C-alpha cells in the first residue's frame, strides 16, 4: 500500500501529465449541497493515480462531481504556476495543502511558497515519521516543530494543522499520545484535521475526539470503515478495500458531523483510498446529500 508520506515525497517531481480528453471532463454541475454549514471537498490524494496521468482531466472530473473545494497533496509533476492554473481552469478552490514533516522541518520556506502559490491558506502535516511504535518523545518533538511551523505560517498569513493518522492513539501519561501532542501545541496556532477512519482505527470515538478539540478542528477527512473490521489501538494501516462508501460502513456519520459542526469545521474533505475512488466518490456524495442530522 503506497503511503501518503511516500507519495508526498514523489508527487512533486517527474510524473508529468498526459494530454487526454476524457468524456467526463466536459461540463460542471452546481456545487453539492448538504445540510452541513461547511462545504464538501475532496483530498486530491484520492485520485493520485489519475492525476499522475492527466492533471487537467482529473481536476475537471472532480468539478463535474459538483465539488469545488480540494485539498492538495503535491504538484503531480507540474510547476507550481501550472498546477495553480489547472486548478483555476477547473474552477476549483484549494484551501489547504499537505506537506510532509521533513519538508516542514528542512524547507519551510518552500512549503509556504507552494501553499500560497496554490491559493491555500492552510498548511497541513499528514504524518509524523517514527519507528514501529510511536512514542512520547515522537509526540513532543513533533509538537515543538508544529509550534514553530505554525508561528512561521502565521507570520506569512497562513494557518497550520496536523492530520491524525491512528498511531497517535496509544496510551500515554495522561490519556493517549495524541492528547500529549495536543496539549504540547499552542491551541491558538495549531489545529487538527481529523481523519475519521484513522481515529476510529486508532481506538477512539471520532465524535468525542472532535468535541474535545472544539475550536481546533478546521477540517475533517470523511472516510468510512467496512463493517466488522476491528483493528488494534494505534493502528495506522488497513487494506484499501476496507475504505467503503460513506454511510455503508460502521461510522456514525450523523454523530460525527454534529460534533464537527459544533466544533466549527470549515471544510469536509472526502478522502477515498479504496481500489475504486472514481466509482465510490459519487456514491459517497449521494449519501451526504441525503443525510439529515436531526
Burial 274-285, CB ≥16 within 10 A → b, else e:
beebbebbeebb
3-state secondary structure of 201: helix
Question: What span, in angstroms and rounded, lies between the C-alpha atoms of 175 and 184?
Answer: 13
- How much is the pLDDT for 41? 98
Kindly state the average pLDDT of the residues 203-226.
98
Residue in 256, 164, 249, 245 with CA at minimum distance from that of residue 210? 256
- How much is the pLDDT for 53? 97
| pLDDT digits 0-9 by tens, 77-102 | 999 999 999 999 999 999 999 999 99
- Do residues 201 and 231 lie in contact, with contact meaning Cβ atoms separated by under 8 Å? yes
Quote the distance between the C-alpha of residue 163 and its chain's center. 7
- How much is the pLDDT for 294? 77
What percent of the chain shows pLDDT beyond 70? 90
Q: Is the pTM of this model over 0.75?
A: yes
How many beta carbons lie within 10 A of that of residue 171, not counting itself? 12
Q: How confident is the model at residue 107 (pLDDT cuts 50, 70, 90)?
A: very high
Q: How confident is the model at residue 27 (pLDDT cuts 50, 70, 90)?
A: low
- How much is the pLDDT for 233? 86
Strands 224-225 and 243-244: antiparallel
Q: How confident is the model at residue 12 (pLDDT cuts 50, 70, 90)?
A: very low
- Do residues 180 and 227 lie in contact, with contact meaning Cβ atoms separated by under 8 Å? no
150: left (phi over 0), alpha (psi -120 to 50) or beta: alpha
| pLDDT digits 0-9 by tens, 133-167 | 999 999 999 999 999 999 999 999 999 999 999 99
| pLDDT digits 0-9 by tens, 68-78 | 999 999 999 99
- How much is the pLDDT for 180? 98
Quote the distance between the C-alpha of residue 198 and its chain's center. 11
Residue 19 pLDDT > 60:
no
| pLDDT digits 0-9 by tens, 248-275 | 999 999 999 999 999 999 999 999 999 9
Residue 96, beta-bridge partner list = 71, 122
Provide CATH code, domain 4-290: 3.20.20.150
- How much is the pLDDT for 29? 77
Look over the chain and give the mean of its residue pLDDT values, rounded to a whole number: 92
Residue in 166, 173, 167 with CA at minimum distance from that of residue 194? 166
Amino acid at each position: 500500500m503506497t503511503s501518503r508520506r511516500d507519495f508526498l515525497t514523489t508527487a512533486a517531481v517527474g510524473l508529468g501529465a498526459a494530454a487526454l480528453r476524457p468524456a467526463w471532463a466536459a461540463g460542471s454541475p452546481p456545487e453539492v449541497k448538504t445540510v452541513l454549514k461547511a462545504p464538501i471537498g475532496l483530498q486530491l490524494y484520492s485520485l493520485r493515480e489519475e492525476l499522475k496521468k492527466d492533471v487537467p482531466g482529473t481536476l475537471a472530473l472532480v468539478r463535474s462531481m459538483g465539488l469545488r473545494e480540494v485539498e492538495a497533496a503535491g504538484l503531480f509533476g507540474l510547476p507550481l504556476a501550472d498546477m495553480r492554473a489547472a486548478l483555476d481552469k477547473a474552477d476549483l478552490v484549494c484551501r489547504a495543502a499537505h506537506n510532509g514533516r521533513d519538508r516542514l522541518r528542512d524547507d519551510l520556506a518552500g512549503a509556504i511558497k507552494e501553499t500560497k502559490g496554490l491559493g491555500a491558506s492552510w498548511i497541513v502535516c499528514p504524518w509524523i515519521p517514527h519507528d514501529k511504535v510511536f512514542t512520547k518523545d515522537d509526540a513532543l518533538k513533533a509538537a515543538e516543530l508544529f509550534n514553530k511551523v505554525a508561528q512561521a505560517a502565521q507570520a506569512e498569513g497562513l494557518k497550520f494543522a496536523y492530520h491524525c493518522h491512528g498511531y497517535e492513539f496509544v496510551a500515554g501519561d495522561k490519556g493517549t499520545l495524541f492528547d500529549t501532542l495536543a496539549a504540547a501545541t499552542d491551541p491558538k496556532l495549531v489545529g487538527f484535521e481529523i481523519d475519521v477512519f484513522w481515529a476510529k482505527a486508532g481506538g477512539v470515538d471520532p465524535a468525542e475526539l472532535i468535541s474535545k478539540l472544539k475550536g481546533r478542528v478546521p477540517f475533517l477527512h470523511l472516510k468510512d470503515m467496512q463493517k466488522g473490521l476491528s483493528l488494534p489501538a494505534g493502528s495506522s494501516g488497513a487494506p484499501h478495500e476496507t475504505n467503503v462508501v460513506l454511510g455503508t460502513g460502521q461510522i456514525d456519520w450523523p454523530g460525527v458531523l454534529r460534533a464537527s459542526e459544533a466544533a466549527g469545521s470549515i471544510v469536509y474533505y472526502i478522502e477515498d483510498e479504496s481500489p475504486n475512488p472514481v466509482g465510490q466518490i459519487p456514491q459517497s456524495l449521494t449519501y451526504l446529500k441525503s443525510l439529515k442530522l436531526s
